[in-house]
């Protein structure tokens, strides 16, 4: 049984490819997506592998050290297999950046995404100030300010939306709550930008942007003598764009093999020590500078706040 919980925020700083292998569509290597909504995601198994790697590397532990097996479990013979004390959930998209005619870009979301975020926050005993209960109508968008208004409209990619300011105050409160927890103080510029440029879209419009407004990069392998593309060595890779914000619930329990050293509090403390305001790499193409993200682990305090 899990005894402690927290929320892991992931702010993308360079294109992030958490892939599914070879695709069947126009993109050769697509990103991971939820089956029903088609929103981008990072599967829990990918996150757990990265957490294990970061804890091991930052503490100079071996992969089979007692500390690593106590925290993350061990696979072996039937009598020598046990689960770990760390259990992340899938990382889900909260804010998705979209090209804007005014203000360069907007951070988009939807009522469905926000309601699901509030539900997932309950796992970590966090309560965001979510006052929004209605979705924008077709062709409309809730905005927090005039920063992304181009004349009388908000123009995102090739689509225009009528801005509605009715919920601006409550949306700014929500955006401020999110950035205070998701981004460190070193990201002060981005924290203000998100608050000023948050846009809530109709659910279908948000899904379409999340599905079709990702980055697609073309890769080639050249013949070193001819300087031409080698046969069959041209492929495309889909990535989450920089400035995407994701989150994942994270649950911990005491270790199943060393509960005295690794109770739930100590496990969560170790994870916060390793991940606190750190940059890590997720996904593929690490040697090409891809996948750099800033992570923050937020835990509810005893008095109902966060720490």
Model confidence pLDDT, tens digit, residues 140-186: 999 999 999 999 999 999 999 999 999 999 999 999 999 999 999 98
Contact 249, 275 (CB under 8 A): no
Q: Who's near 254: CB < 8 A, 6+ residues apart?
A: 3, 85, 262, 263, 264, 267
pLDDT of residue 307: 53
For residue 237, list its beta bridge partners: 29, 217
Walk me through the domains of the chain, giving residue ranges and CATH numbers: 1-18+44-89+242-302 (3.30.70), 96-213 (no CATH)
Residue ranges in the chain modelled with pLDDT below 50? 302-304
The DSSP bridge pattern shows strands 91-99 and 41-42 to be: antiparallel
Helices (H), the chain: 44-58, 66-72, 111-121, 168-182, 188-196, 203-212, 264-275
CA distance 136 to 152: 16
- Cα separation of 12 and 182, whole Å? 11
Identify which of 247, 293, 280, 242 has the alpha carbon closest to the alpha carbon of residue 107.
242
Query: Is residue 64 within 8 Å of residue 246, measured between CB atoms?
Result: no
Q: Are 159 and 143 in contact (CB under 8 A)?
A: no
């Amino acid at each position: 049984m899990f005894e402690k919980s927290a929320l892991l925020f992931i702010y993308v700083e360079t294109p992030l490819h958490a892939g599914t292998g070879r695709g069947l569509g126009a993109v050769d290597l697509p990103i991971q997506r939820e089956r029903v909504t088609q929103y981008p995601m990072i599967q829990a198994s990918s996150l757990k592998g990265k957490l294990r790697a970061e804890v091991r590397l930052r503490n100079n532990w071996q992969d089979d050290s007692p500390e690593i097996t106590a925290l993350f479990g061990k696979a072996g013979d039937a009598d020598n297999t046990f689960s770990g004390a760390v259990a992340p959930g899938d990382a889900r998209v909260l804010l998705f950046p979209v090209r804007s005619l005014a203000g360069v870009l907007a951070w988009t979301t939807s009522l469905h995404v926000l309601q699901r975020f509030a539900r997932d926050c309950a796992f970590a005993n966090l309560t965001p100030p979510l006052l929004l209960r209605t979705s924008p109508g077709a062709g409309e968008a809730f905005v927090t300010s005039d920063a992304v208004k181009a004349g009388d409209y908000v123009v995102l990619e090739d689509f225009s939306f009528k801005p509605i300011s009715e919920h601006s105050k409550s949306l700014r409160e929500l955006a401020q709550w999110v950035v205070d927890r998701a981004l460190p103080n070193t990201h002060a510029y981005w924290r203000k930008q998100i608050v000023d440029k948050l846009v809530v879209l109709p659910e279908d419009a948000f899904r379409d942007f999340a599905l079709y407004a990702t980055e697609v990069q073309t890769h080639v392998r050249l013949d070193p003598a001819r300087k031409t593309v080698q046969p069959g060595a041209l492929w495309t890779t889909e990535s989450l764009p920089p400035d995407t914000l994701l989150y994942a619930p994270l649950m911990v329990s005491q270790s199943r093999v060393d509960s005295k050293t690794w109770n739930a509090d100590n496990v969560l403390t170790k994870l916060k020590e390793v991940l606190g305001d750190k940059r890590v790499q997720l996904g593929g193409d690490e040697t090409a500078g891809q996948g750099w993200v800033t992570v923050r682990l937020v835990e509810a305090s005893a008095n109902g706040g966060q720490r």
